[in-house]
Structure 1
């Protein structure tokens, strides 16, 4: 059983996908969400777990990492319906790298 924190990665674009994949290679369990199905498939093909929603991605995560275009998107995924704040477990760490 791994003692590494479970990671949720929101935003699997040009920078997010390879960064999430590096965490997987380092032994972390990474669950990801993004709007593009091909990027979710890429994550799954590299050993991660593709989530169907932000809520699903963050529900068991110890650490939530976001990498989206700008502040409006960060606010939407953090505070919007089915967002991070509403669905992450108590004590989860949110790291925004947008």
Structure 2
């Protein structure tokens, strides 16, 4: 999804599969989030990727707008794209992603 002059890819996964959770567990470095994943407390995740400035703003918006936890998802990317996972219940993740979309439309 391209929002305004910003290029931010925003994805939503509900009823996340065990295989995808294992991938996220390996890619997330935040121990608090890893613990939540390991305890099978994750059913929904929003994923945003883009440049570092946009992703940091998206992270801040997500946590201020809804009861979610945000963590960087590490990977190897030659374009220096940063990715974050937004973890929470379905309604909270949807609210966070909608808030991100609305904020970027304003800019």
TM-score, normalised with respect to structure 2: 0.25
Instruction: Give the structure with higher Rg (CA).
Output: 2
TM-score, normalised with respect to structure 1: 0.26
**Bigger share in helix:** 2
**Bigger share in strand:** 2
